[in-house]
Amino acid sequence: MAKLVFGMNQSLDGYVDHDHAEFRPDPALFRHFVGQVRALAGSVYGRRIYEVMRYWDDDQPEWDSDERDFATAWRSQPKWVVSRSLKSVGPNATLVGDDLEAVIRKLKAERAGEIDVAGPELARSLSDLGLIDEYRLYLHPIVLGRGKPFFAGPRPPLRLVASDRIGEEVIRLTYVPA
């Protein structure tokens, strides 16, 4: 059975604004993400974050080897995109429009390993359904004062199970539902 994991970069004040320059990972954190993506059984995306991540579908001439490695890993993994407004999705992706709970329960039952959840609003829906098995907060030493909060709704009761430093400035906090 697969484990559903919601993890994102977060500011000290709880925001996950991916457009903010301070969230650009240092080389160690980026390599961590490359390895993490390589090991995934797949990813479930909300529409907005999926559209941001589509950046990795097309090679860019300025990419270094780590960025090319990330793109290769991202392209190869299966993706499920939860959206009622999209009519189609890119390569290696499946559109999920209805019955989110049934689709995710089936994915968890049929797959092994970790399935990444991307997007705070999608994570809230899956949390409300009791489907997220682990939360990973990649805490950056910045204060944004705005953006999308990591928890798009009331925070579920959580229990800290691990903390570790990744790179020079980021602490990863790992929680499970209490």
Structural domains in the chain plus CATH codes: 1-9+26-135 (3.40.430.10)
pLDDT value at position 10?
94
Q: Residues 94-129: pLDDT tens digits?
A: 999 889 999 999 999 999 999 999 999 999 999 999
Strand locations in 26-98 (E)? 42-46, 79-82, 93-96
pLDDT of residue 17 exceeding 80:
no
Q: Quote the pTM value.
A: 0.93
Q: Which pLDDT does position 166 carry in this prediction? A: 96
Predicted confidence at residue 24, as pLDDT, reads 82
The torsion angles phi and psi of 11, rounded to 5 degrees, stand at -80, 165
pLDDT tens-digit profile of 26-71? Answer: 899 999 999 999 999 999 999 999 999 999 999 999 999 999 999 9
107, 129 in Cβ contact below 8 A?
no
Tell me what pLDDT residue 20 has.
Answer: 67
Residue 131's pLDDT is: 97
Helices (H), 59-139: 65-76, 100-110, 120-128
pLDDT digits (tens, 9 = 90+) for 124-176: 999 999 999 999 999 999 998 988 899 998 888 999 999 999 998 999 999 99
- The CA distance from 93 to 54, in Å, is 11
> SS3 of 134, please?
strand
The yes-or-no verdict on residue 8 having pLDDT over 90 is yes
